[in-house]
Structure 1
Amino acid sequence: MRPTGAEQLVDLPSVKAHLNIPPNDNRQDDELQGFILAAAELARNHCGPFIPETHTQFFDGGRSTIVPDFKPVASVLSATEYYGLSAYPLTEQPLSGQVNAFGFTVDYATGEITRRTFGGEAATFADGAKNIKVVYTAGRAGSVPWTARLGVLELIRHLWQMTQQGGGRPKFNGGAYDGGEGMVPTGFAIPSRVLELWQPYYRGPGIA
């Protein structure tokens, strides 16, 4: 599940400061809050979650490696193999410290979870359909990177300018906002400047 407020990578006071709106001007607060949620959701779709969120996912067995949909993977809380109605908990065991045949390792750079047996040998998860249950946390440790937050703020400014000018490309100081727009997997056009700020965190095609 996603924790309350996970979408809010930036807060309302930060957005007002970025848009040069006086803090005591509350006339557009509801609209700005909508932009905050929309922009942060687009950031999450493009980069994966920044704020940790927990997911439960079932995978087909019969293979040695599985990859969760939500990345980056911060930790695997539990993994369970089901042989029919029998459940067998697996534990994360380093290659140099296997303690039994029911282990797994995680490549946190890619999110890949590999089934392991004695001696660290790769094994296959139990055969079956959706019989491997994994509970994991996706997200990034520490504070949200400033470049990611700035990208969200810039996207909110883009959306705000579109509403204030009644459509068309937003203008700033008489010039174009940036060099153009790029399309994200959702089909939404995002300014190139925003995509540049988010590029270090791009997660590639896939789910969430």
Structure 2
Amino acid sequence: MALLTLDEAKRQLDIETTAHDVELQLYLEALAPVIEGYIGPVENRIVTETLTSHGASLCLRQTPVVSLTSLTPVLDGGAALDVATLAVDTVTGVITRRDRFLFCPGPWTAVYVAGRGTVPATVKLAAAILLQHLWRTQYGAARGAVGGGDDYAVTEPVAGFGYAVPNRVLELLEPYKMPPAVA
């Protein structure tokens, strides 16, 4: 699953030839890290990470969570817990035990799938607009108004994104924004 296919990108940019396909593929590959930096994983991926217990819960770092594959204590060669005995909040990544017992301090190894399963339409549109914005930079001032007349102008940097991501993209992604992290 990709945020945008090559054909979708070419339609967005009104490109009808294959002359820019290699360069365009580089732009397409650059979209996911930018968008996922704001809303978390979009494309499903298997994640393996080491966690420390907080007593009643464990917290996965990459959300949203599609499914939990395994949860195994690292010390003493412990056996994996039956994932059917665990509850996973797919939005926050918090794992709790259905029997309400506490987790031993750990560490624990969690294997899970993070992502969204499908790309929501607004995320796909945000990716298309971001692609169009980034693609236009290769032409400089020759292909657009300078000094704020450009519909894709980013006049104020957004915290953490600089000038690379237009506000319209961030507004489309807002409903999917990651919850604040807990330190």
Q: Give the Cα–Cα distance (whole angstroms) in 1 for the partners of residues 134 and 32 of structure 2.
A: 12
Q: Which amino acid aligns with 1:126?
A: C
Question: Contact 1:185 / 1:205 at 8 angstroms: preserved in 2?
Answer: no
Q: Structure 1's 140 and 62: CA in aligned 2 closer, same or farther, altered over 3 A?
A: closer
Task: Tell me the distance in 1 between the aligned counterparts of 2:28 and 2:122.
Answer: 16
Percent of pairs with identical residues:
32
Matched residue of 2:82: which SS?
Answer: strand
- Aligned partner of 2:102 in structure 1 is 124
| SS at structure 2 position matched to 1:108 | coil
| Residue 108 (structure 1) aligned to one of 75, 82, 90 | 90
The answer to which of 174-183 and 190-199 deviates more is 174-183
Query: Shift of the alpha carbon at 1:187?
Result: 4.9
> CA–CA distance in 2 between the matches of 1:16 and 1:198?
22
Count of aligned pairs between the two proteins: 179
**Between 180-189 and 54-63, the greater mean CA deviation after superposition:** 180-189
Unaligned ranges ≥5, structure 1: 1-5, 94-102
Cα distance, 1:35 vs structure 2: 0.9
TM-score (norm 1): 0.75
CA-CA distance at 1:105 after TM superposition: 1.6
Name the structure with the higher helix share.
2
Residue 46 of structure 1, CA deviation: 1.3
Residues 98-177 of structure 1: pairs in structure 2 closer than 5 A = 103-116=85-98, 120-121=99-100, 123-128=101-106, 131-141=107-117, 143-165=118-140, 171=145, 175-177=149-151
Given the superposition, is the C-alpha separation of residues 108 and 80 from structure 1 closer, same or farther in structure 2, using an over 3 Å criterion? same
User: Hey, which bits of structure 1, 4+ residues long, moved more than 4 A?
Assistant: 169-172
Q: Which has the larger radius of gyration?
A: 1
Show the counterpart of 1:200: 175
Q: Which TM-score applies when normalising by structure 2?
A: 0.84
Does residue 27 of the first structure (1) align with residue 19 of the second (2)?
Answer: yes
Q: CA RMSD in A?
A: 2.7
Q: 1:176 Cα shift?
A: 2.4
What are the superposed Cα offsets for residues 119-146 of structure 1, whole Å, 9 maximum, x if unpaired?
x32x322234xx21111011113x3111
1:113, distance to aligned residue in structure 2 (A): 0.3
Instruction: Indicate conservation of the 8 Å contact 2:40/2:178, yes or no.
Output: yes
Answer yes or no: is the 8 Å Cα contact 1:81–1:125 preserved in 2.
Answer: no
1:68 aligns with 2:50: no
The separation in 2 between residues aligned to 1:72 and 1:60, in whole angstroms, is 19
Which letter maps to 2:72?
T
Return the structure number with greater strand share.
1
